[in-house]
Amino acid sequence: SQQGEEDPQALSIQEGENATMNCSYKTSINNLQWYRQNSGRGLVHLILIRSNEREKHSGRLRVTLDTSKKSSSLLITASRAADTASYFCATDGSGIKAAGNKLTFGGGTRVLVKP
Amino acid sequence: GAGVSQTPSNKVTEKGKYVELRCDPISGHTALYWYRQSLGQGPEFLIYFQGTGAADDSGLPNDRFFAVRPEGSVSTLKIQRTERGDSAVYLCASSAISGSYNEQFFGPGTRLTVL
């Protein structure tokens, strides 16, 4: 079963616009990660945010985490055609500060950036 | 350095046959994970190895699925008596256990098609 739910399921924007997607989860977490996937193959790790962090930036990416609402958002600023991909959030779901825990993924948001 | 590699990239087999899928993790990574991703969904956890032992195999769907990691590096996922419902992309990931982080690096996946 999948813990996370991404919203929206699909997003179509013009190049240069910002893309925002949200992720909700059900259980307590140790950290939350966002991944990108092109063409249904390997996932590329984008950013990890720990449960005691509220916001994190990496290049054009901004991630927020609200543990009280059990939700996270990923913002891609100034989008490019190359950002077209599926984006997944993943949690370790254990709430225990131990490494090596399995990730539970959401269903993903499919983003199309039109040139 | 080299990332996670998986072979074969594609595997087509007939219902009832036996298949083996191979994963080469990043050198030095002690943790190895197998996930399965069906079309249009997020990856779902199958099994996790810490070193040579399976620390968590709770995601294996039934006893037709088995995985080994005899020397703590390369892992093989084995599926007996394949069924059409086993068709999916099988993803392998590895991580270097470090404190409370659990950043997993994914391979390109093996697309399994059972006819």
* Predicted pLDDT at A39: 78
Split at pLDDT 50, 70, 90, the class of A4 is low
Q: Is the pLDDT of residue A98 over 80?
A: no
Q: What is the pLDDT of residues B26-68, one digit of tens each?
A: 998 989 999 999 988 999 999 999 889 898 899 999 999 999 9
Highest mean pLDDT among A3-7, A22-26, A75-79, B99-103: A75-79
Q: How far is CA B32 from CA A34, A101, B67, B100, in A?
A: 19, 10, 11, 16
- pLDDT at position A99: 45
The per-residue pLDDT for A28 is 84
pLDDT at A3: 56
Contact B43 A102 (CB under 8 A): no
Q: Give CA angle at A6 (A27, B91), nearest 5°.
A: 85
Determine phi and psi for A83, rounding to 5 degrees: -80, -10
Confidence of residue A6 (pLDDT cuts 50, 70, 90): confident
In the DSSP assignment, the letter for residue A26 is S
CA A51 to chain centroid:
14
A21 neighbors A32 (Cβ within 8 angstroms): no
Question: Is 50 exceeded by the pLDDT of residue A97?
Answer: no
Average pLDDT of span B93-111: 81
Identify from B102, B103, B105, B106 which residue to disrupt to test chain A contact, counting A C-beta atoms within 10 A and taking the largest count: B102
Mutate to test the interface with A, among B47, B92, B104, B106 (most CBs of A within 10 A): B104
* Structure confidence at residue A100 (pLDDT): 56
Percent of chain A residues topping a pLDDT of 90: 69
- The minimal CB distance from A100 to the residues B31, B37, B89 is found for B31
CA atoms of B84 and A66, how far apart (whole Å): 40
Query: Which residue is listed with tokens 């079963």?
Result: A1
**Do residue B106 and residue A42 have CB atoms under 8 angstroms apart?**
yes
More confident residue, B102 or A107: A107
Cβ atoms of residues A111 and A11 within 8 Å: yes
- Buried-exposed string A45-70: b where 16+ CB fall within 10 A, e elsewhere: bbbbbebeeeebeeeebbbebeeeeb
What's the pLDDT at B96? 85
pLDDT digits over B74-94, tens only? 999 999 999 999 999 999 999
Query: Which tokens in the block code for residue A72?
Result: 């996270």
CA separation for the pair A50, A33 (Å, rounded): 9
The larger pLDDT score, comparing residue A92 to residue A57, is at: A57
What would the pLDDT profile of A26-65 be if each residue is shown by its tens digit? 888 888 999 999 976 789 999 999 999 999 999 999 999 9
Q: How far is B81 from chain A (nearest CA, A)?
A: 24
- CA dist B9 and B94 (Å) reads 18
According to the model, what pLDDT value does residue B23 have? 98
Cβ contacts (< 8 Å) between A34 and chain B: which residues?
none
Nearest CA in chain B to A29: B100
